[in-house]
Amino acid sequence: MNRRDFLHPRRLAQTASQAYQVLEEIQSPQPQGAGEAVPLLHVSRRAMATSFEIILPWGLPQAMEAATAGLDEIDRLEDQLTVYRDHSEVSRLNRQAAQQEVEVAANLFDLLELAERITRETEGAFDITAGPLIKAWGFFRR
């Protein structure tokens, strides 16, 4: 798929339609016959400059623990991948990679390989190396 195809309105509409279908499929189950809504557990947290919310049917065993573990994973990934924290692995990589080899965690290496592949497949429509330009143009605000 090239950049033009990837960003074509028809392709975007198809992707949005697929996402909507997935959301419909994972909506909370309704009790059979009763028509009553299932009570839901909502667990949310702010991270990565947005809100994350996990919604599960109330009463599932370990639901709160599972939701909290999911949100903790988001926090862990933010701490590893953010460019807004000097101690993050990505910040360290950005500081050191021009001068020396930098060992990174396997999940970060896999992510960088995937990002490189997506950049090639979209002919540059999505390019994680655009950060310095975005910052130079004044769009890099926190």
- For 61-107, the pLDDT digits (tens) are 888 999 999 999 999 999 999 989 999 999 999 999 999 999 999 99
Q: What is the pLDDT of residue 13?
A: 63
Residue 114 lies in a domain: yes
Each residue's pLDDT tens digit, 105-126 = 999 999 999 999 999 999 888 8
**pTM, full prediction:** 0.65
Q: What is the Cα–Cα distance from 81 to 87, expressed in whole angstroms? A: 10
* Assigned domain for 96 exists: yes
**pLDDT for residue 75:** 96
63 inside domain? yes
Structure-token match 């990174």, residue found: 104
Strands, E, within the chain: which ranges? 40-47, 50-57
Instruction: Please report whether residue 21 resides in a domain.
Output: no
Distance separating alpha carbons of residues 71 and 13, to the nearest angstrom: 29
18 part of a folded domain:
no
Which of residues 29 and 56 earns the better pLDDT score? 56
Residue 84: give the domain boundaries. 38-136
Residue 62: its pLDDT value, please? 87
Q: What CA–CA distance (Å, rounded) separates 140 from 38?
A: 42
| Three-state DSSP state, 37 | coil
Residue pair 80/105 in contact by the 8 Å Cβ criterion: yes
> Sign of the C-alpha dihedral, residues 110, 113, 118, 124?
positive
> Residue 6: is its pLDDT beyond 80?
no
Task: Judge whether 22 lies within some domain.
Answer: no
Asked whether residue 66 is domain-assigned, the answer is yes
CA 90 to CA 92: how far, in whole Å? 5
pLDDT value at 22 more than 80: no
In the prediction, which pLDDT does 124 show?
Answer: 87
The total of structural domains in the chain comes to 1
What are the residues whose beta carbons fall under 8 Å from the beta carbon of 121, sequence distance 6 or more?
1, 6
